[in-house]
Each structure stands twice: as structure tokens, then as C-alpha cells.
């Protein structure tokens, strides 16, 4: 199950093409057109999924297990800071989260499955728009689930991967239970009464109220969590006021809470609301509090973790991960379609790939592409061969007819 040299080159060029032409959420028209030309000859292709998404169906000659592979399509609203030939040509937009790699890997798997079809089962490859979700905006995964093309569908395995700067190229991280955290975004809007700065007693200062609220929220969240809770809390934006000489009538802040444990999540959300209400009352301000983009955690199914442990050693440098991150992903919603597995694809080599996600400097060691294709193809073929129905059974390797000798080069081969 190795990639031939011409496959690696073609996939690398596709990734660079996608990287040069990034598009924001629900605007992935050119991205979809590029993929449509490649995917059309492979199988039954549905276009316009949730607006700009694509759904490729690859059916074998006989019924059997069903696998869904998901790749996200949208880029991030940040300028590309890299000085490379394939840098983004769209000002202020960049594939800073690796979605170009995710799409390239998914296409690579689809092409190999189509070229060497399994004897039974089906593979569906979803290219999902709009994984990046600004405050209050819609989730692409939620839109996909509402699309008729996926109505009443169920799968034996839902697979995906995410580029991971914390792991070297050639490595794959597999979280034991939770792959991504739950997310709860919030907005605190305080409304007072405007007044001239020379007569502050006739006004009610929303900016003062927001300043004390921000400080109180950080303190309250810190004191409402236990030492073993995995929690991230952030106030990311503050706006308000109209003039330096006016007592501000309105001010607002937005932030995010990230958790893993449902009990901690509920406890901290209550603390945040309680503090916001208390601070507003103390300064006689009106409060408008909003939760948005509430997303469950990404859970890895036990049987798929076990399958990865059984079939991936020897193909990649497998890293069992015991401490899940506090990043989030709407892949979590696709768990409604069946047991899911979301793995972390190592992308760094010490020089390239070490910049954090959502940074304009983010890049990857492109050898990770072949590793990703190998991993998802191996997992897919193992599921189709009955690996989930027969736990503990050794699934024989099924090398592609197009493969050449040698394994995908990873960090361990350098």
C-alpha cells in the first residue's frame, strides 16, 4: 500500500494549487471546481452539497460495510506570511489550518480506491465547506447533515484527519477517546446610558462595566475548575464606545470556552453567566448574554481506535495520544452518521511545519500527504474487509496495483 512517485508528485502539485487559491467558508467555488474535475471520473459525484461541497460515492460490486471520509475545504481569514512559490494569491486569505492537505489526502484515497476497488462495501468521500466558524455563524458540518444527499445515511466508520504541527512528518497521532474539545462561544453585551465625560454621574458606563466583567470572568473560570479539568478560556474581542469624551452607552466582548468533561462544561458555563449577570447588576447596566457555536467534543470510537492500533503499525510512526487538545472541530457533528475516528497527521520537520495552526506562517512538510493517504486508505480497506465485525482479526494488507516498491517516506526514513 505504497504510493508511486508519480502519485506523490501529482498530489503535491494539487496541494500547492489549492494553497495558492484559498477561499473562505461557503465561498469555495473554485476549490470545488478544481476537485470536481478530478473526482468526476472516479465515481458518482454529487455537487452543491451544503452549497459548495462535494460528495463522491464509490460502490463495490457486492454490499458490505460503508465508510465515510471527510475533508474540510475552507481557508482562514489571515494573510499568508510565507515566502514560497505556492503562497496564497488571495489577499487576507490563507490555508492556515491544513485544509488544502486534508482535501488532497481525501482525493488521493478516493483515486486509489477507485483504481483498485475492494470486493465489497462502499466508500463515500465528503468535501465539506465552512469548517471555520466565526461567532454566531453556521457550521458547515451541520449544513451537510441537513443536505438531502446524506439524509438517512449511516456508516460503519466516519474517518478524518487534521494536520498537526506538534508531530513530525511520518507520524500519526491517535487520541484514545477525545480528539477535539467541546466549544462554547459567548458574547457579553452591556448597555448603559451615554453622558458627557464632564458629567459622568448622569450616565452609566458600559466600558467600565465590561472592564470589570472581563477581569471577573477570568477569575471566576479559574476558580470554578478543578486541577484535573482540561479547560481553555479566552476573551478575544472587545468593542464599545463612541468618543473619548463620552461615557460609553454600549460595550461588548466575545470569547470562547473549551472543555472535555461534560460536568466541567456545565459548571463553567453557569459560572460565566452568573458573573456576567452580577457585574451588570452591580453597575446598573442592562445585559444581553448570548451563547453561540456550541459544539460537542470529537469522540473517537473505541473499535476504530483498536483498529488503528492493529493495522497501522509498520506503515507509520504511530503515537497513541493520552492528553487531548483544546482545539475544536465540527467533525464532531458527523458522529451522528456513525462511529468516528479523527487522527492527527504530523506535518513538521524542524524547519517546515512548526508554525501553529491559524498562523499565516503555517506550512507543512509535504511528505505528510503520502502518509495521510496511506493511513486513510489502510483504515478504509480494513473496515471494508470486516475489521470492525471481527475484533482482533488480522486484516491482510491489500497493496494497490499501481504501487511501486518502498514505503512512503516519513520522518523515520530520513
Q: Please name every residue paired with 340 in a beta bridge, in sequence order, or none if there are none.
A: 158
Residue 141 Ramachandran class (φ > 0 left, ψ -120 to 50 alpha, else beta): alpha
Strands (E), 169-300: 171-175, 178-180, 182-191, 195-196, 231-240, 246-247, 250-259, 286-295, 298-299
Q: How far apart are CA 37 and CA 328, in angstroms?
A: 31
Concatenated DSSP letters for 11-79?
HHHHHHHHHHS---TT--HHHHHHHHHHHTTTSEEEEEETTTEEEEEEE-SEEEEEEEEEEE---BSS-
Name the strand (E) or helix (H) holding 374.
helix 367-384
Contact 405, 387 (CB under 8 A): no
- Residue written as grid cell 498562523: 359
- Residue written as grid cell 484535573: 228
Q: How far apart are CA 115 and CA 110, in angstroms?
A: 8
| Longest Cα–Cα distance in the chain | 82
Handedness of CA 85, 91, 96, 102 (dihedral sign): negative
Active-site amino acid positions: 72, 132
Q: Which residues contact 196 (CB under 8 A, 6 or more apart)?
A: 202, 203, 245, 246, 247
Amino acid at each position: 500500500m505504497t504510493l508511486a512517485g508519480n502519485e506523490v508528485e501529482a498530489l503535491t502539485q494539487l496541494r500547492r494549487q489549492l494553497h495558492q487559491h484559498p477561499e473562505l467558508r461557503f465561498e469555495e467555488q473554485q476549490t470545488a471546481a478544481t476537485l470536481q474535475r478530478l473526482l468526476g471520473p472516479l465515481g458518482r459525484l454529487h455537487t452543491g452539497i451544503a452549497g459548495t461541497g462535494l460528495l463522491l460515492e464509490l460502490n463495490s460490486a457486492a454490499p458490505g460495510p460503508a465508510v465515510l471520509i471527510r475533508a474540510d475545504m475552507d481557508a482562514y481569514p489571515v494573510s499568508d506570511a510565507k515566502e514560497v512559490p505556492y503562497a496564497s494569491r488571495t489577499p487576507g486569505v490563507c490555508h492556515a489550518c491544513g485544509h488544502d492537505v486534508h482535501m488532497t489526502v481525501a482525493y488521493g484515497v478516493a483515486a486509489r480506491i477507485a483504481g483498485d476497488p475492494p470486493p465489497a462495501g462502499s466508500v463515500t468521500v465528503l468535501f465539506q465547506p465552512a469548517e471555520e466558524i466565526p461567532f454566531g455563524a453556521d457550521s458547515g458540518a451541520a449544513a451537510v447533515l441537513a443536505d438531502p444527499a446524506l439524509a438517512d445515511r449511516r456508516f460503519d466508520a466516519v474517518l478524518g484527519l487534521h494536520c498537526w504541527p506538534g508531530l513530525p512528518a511520518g507520524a500519526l497521532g491517535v487520541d484514545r477517546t477525545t480528539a477535539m474539545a467541546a466549544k462554547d462561544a459567548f458574547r457579553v453585551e452591556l448597555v448603559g446610558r451615554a453622558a458627557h465625560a464632564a458629567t459622568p454621574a448622569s450616565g452609566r458606563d458600559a466600558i467600565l462595566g465590561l472592564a470589570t466583567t472581563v477581569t471577573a470572568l477570568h477569575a471566576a473560570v479559574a476558580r470554578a475548575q478543578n486541577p484535573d479539568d482540561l479547560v481553555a478560556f479566552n476573551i478575544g474581542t472587545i468593542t464599545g464606545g463612541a468618543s473619548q469624551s463620552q461615557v460609553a452607552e454600549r460595550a461588548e466582548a466575545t470569547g470562547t470556552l473549551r472543555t472535555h468533561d461534560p460536568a466541567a462544561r456545565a459548571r463553567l458555563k453557569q459560572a460565566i453567566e452568573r458573573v456576567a449577570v452580577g457585574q451588570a447588576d452591580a453597575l446598573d447596566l442592562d445585559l444581553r448574554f448570548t451563547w453561540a457555536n456550541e459544539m460537542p467534543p470529537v469522540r473517537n470510537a473505541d473499535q476504530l481506535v483498536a483498529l488503528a492500533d492493529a493495522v497501522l503499525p509498520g506503515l507509520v510512526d504511530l503515537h497513541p495520544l493520552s492528553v487531548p487538545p483544546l482545539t475544536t472541530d465540527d467533525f464532531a457533528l458527523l458522529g451522528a452518521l456513525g462511529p468516528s475516528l479523527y487522527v492527527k497527521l504530523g506535518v513538521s520537520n524542524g524547519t517546515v511545519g512548526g508554525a501553529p495552526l491559524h498562523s499565516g506562517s503555517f506550512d507543512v512538510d509535504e511528505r505528510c500527504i503520502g502518509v495521510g493517504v496511506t493511513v486513510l486508505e489502510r483504515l478504509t480497506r480494513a473496515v471494508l474487509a470486516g475489521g470492525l465485525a471481527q475484533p482482533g482479526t488480522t486484516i491482510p494488507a491489500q497493496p494497490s496495483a499501481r504501487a511501486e516498491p518502498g514505503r512512503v517516506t516519513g520522518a523515520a526514513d530520513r
